[in-house]
């Protein structure tokens, strides 16, 4: 007998989230090994974000195809949110390993690179001299705090809200109603 049971959105999302999380972590490691300043560059963030969204949509379309070509908004949201959650957890663990185990000096180097990028951008807009040394130290401390274990976990917690909003948008892209059921 053939088993016609389809995979639930959560089950499919676990696999997709695992692939997505590992892909993003590998790209982060590649960027780190090539030149750590890539991690705080604007273009790298845009490329990663586009790839991230693209892969979720791709996995969502694959899941929709797997379940018969149609997927209601609710299951599409569940799929998207669980995919984001799993990939986020993998990213959290990967970043903690990178920042706390592999290279504990990396957060300090990234903060310096990020501040340099910010100051260069402010200079281009003619506002480079408007920031005082005390303000720069405050910004440095705030950014540095984001790389601590607590800061990473706090960012993940805030990220859950962002994941929910992203999942709403992604579900709207992934869903497809069976119009033949309309009367």
Domain range summary for the chain, segments of one domain joined by +: 9-175
pLDDT tens digits along 132-180: 778 888 888 888 988 999 999 999 999 999 999 999 999 999 998 877 7
The structure tokens 């986020």 sit at: 88
Taking the chain (183 residues) in runs of 10, the rounded mean pLDDT of each run is 61 94 95 93 92 94 91 94 96 94 93 87 75 81 89 93 95 86 64
| Buried residues in 32-56 as b, exposed as e (16+ CB within 10 A) | beeebbbbbeeeeeeebeeebeebb
What sign does the CA torsion over 49, 24, 73, 158 have? negative
- The answer to whether the beta carbons of residues 96 and 149 sit under 8 Å apart is yes
Both tokens of residue 57?
Answer: 């949509």
Beta bridge partners of 71: 176
Query: 138 phi and psi, to 5 degrees?
Result: -60, -45
Q: Angle at which helices 73-96 and 42-66 pack, to 10 degrees?
A: 140
């Amino acid at each position: 007998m053939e088993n016609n049971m389809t995979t639930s959105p959560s089950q499919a999302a676990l696999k997709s989230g695992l692939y997505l999380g590992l892909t993003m972590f590998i790209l982060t490691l590649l960027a780190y090994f090539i030149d750590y300043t890539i991690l705080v560059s604007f273009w790298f963030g845009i490329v990663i974000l586009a790839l991230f969204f693209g892969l979720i949509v791709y996995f969502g379309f694959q899941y929709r195809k797997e379940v018969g070509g149609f997927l209601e908004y609710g299951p599409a949201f569940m799929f998207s949110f669980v995919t984001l959650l799993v990939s986020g957890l993998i990213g959290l663990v990967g970043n903690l390993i990178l920042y706390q185990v592999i290279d504990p000096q990396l957060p300090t180097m990234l903060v310096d690179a990020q501040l340099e990028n910010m100051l260069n951008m402010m200079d281009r807009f003619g506002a480079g001299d408007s920031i005082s040394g005390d303000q720069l130290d405050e910004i440095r401390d705030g950014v540095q705090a984001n790389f601590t274990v607590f800061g990473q976990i706090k960012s993940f917690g805030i990220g859950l809200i962002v994941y929910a909003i992203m999942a709403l948008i992604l579900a709207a892209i992934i869903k497809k109603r069976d119009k033949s059921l309309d009367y």
